Structure 1
């Protein structure tokens, strides 16, 4: 029932904000499709939009950028510099085959290595500090994938990731991406390093945990990263820039 001048109109109130899943759940312990979609969107924006934008900011004004990183001296600054270095050093792509290599190694990192590390750190019979099973609902015990070039979903991941990576480096996309056989042959050329889980890896499980503040260690690491970044920058042309990609739902 609507009473004139008394009933509240629809625009007078707002829906409460949607509850966001903790980062540790999204990145390590997803248990529904929304978590997976949130993770995928986060990775897309981090790798294809935010990092290329950080690269460009660094290259456009290196002195100012270095100063801002030293002033911040926190985990976010360290993460930004590490991502920039990956783009300009080991992960720099100059050919489309480089992009295929990057995509194949991304697959291995996301769906194999991280899962193996997770299982190593928290075995199936792991228990919490109270003695309860660690892998109890809603957590789901994970299983690593085995890459197969004949699996359409695996090859589609490689195709999409390599095309997007090529776009950020302004690399032309060849016709081979339209041919599953030729793309599979390109993937088979990639050397995938063996992975061994590490003892000292810490995987966040605290849903309330936040990024650590600046520390002496961060300051030292950031200075080292900036030195490496300067060496990388000296090997680039002054015109080099990346092309950030904004996510579009359409």
Structure 2
């Protein structure tokens, strides 16, 4: 079994579903970059479209069942916290989706396999594929299991995260928004370590490590804040 086949088998084990339609699963795991050039390849964008709608339905359904008195505005706020590409990317990492993706060499080289945008889109495509392959109940079971932590944290009191603080710090000084770049990825696939560098015009860049790209970005933002004026 090659490396990607092993990653797909592990993915199915983690989500608790073996796809009957293998071509459907392959399409859900194929990034549009694979279709660049003359060869026509079916990729996951249509499944992502479907998965986004299924995900919104399941999240709305769950929110209404948890709180029968919440107003539409409050439900919409909570929905936005649950259904976004960062939340989907977190789930994608939990299930090992990145290693199972089929990407072009150029997309792999620029770090697409670790990108929140790519992982978030692929997670939605997988939900769409799961819905087609096994129905809404299977998609619901996946959602309830892998979004459980997001629901638990939904109403937890929280301050602004370091990336938001740093963005506001830069905007308050009339500077362009901070930019983030993955400068290193180390460790085994099941326990990677990312080093991210944050840059703000006119200041020396700062870098920090994390177990995910998102975690490393937050750590780098915090380092930048602490070396400037401290967290707000």
TM interval, shorter chain, is under 0.3
Structure of greater Rg: 1
For normalisation by structure 2, the TM-score amounts to 0.25
For normalisation by structure 1, the TM-score amounts to 0.24
Name whichever structure is richer in helix by fraction: 2
Name whichever structure is richer in strand by fraction: 2
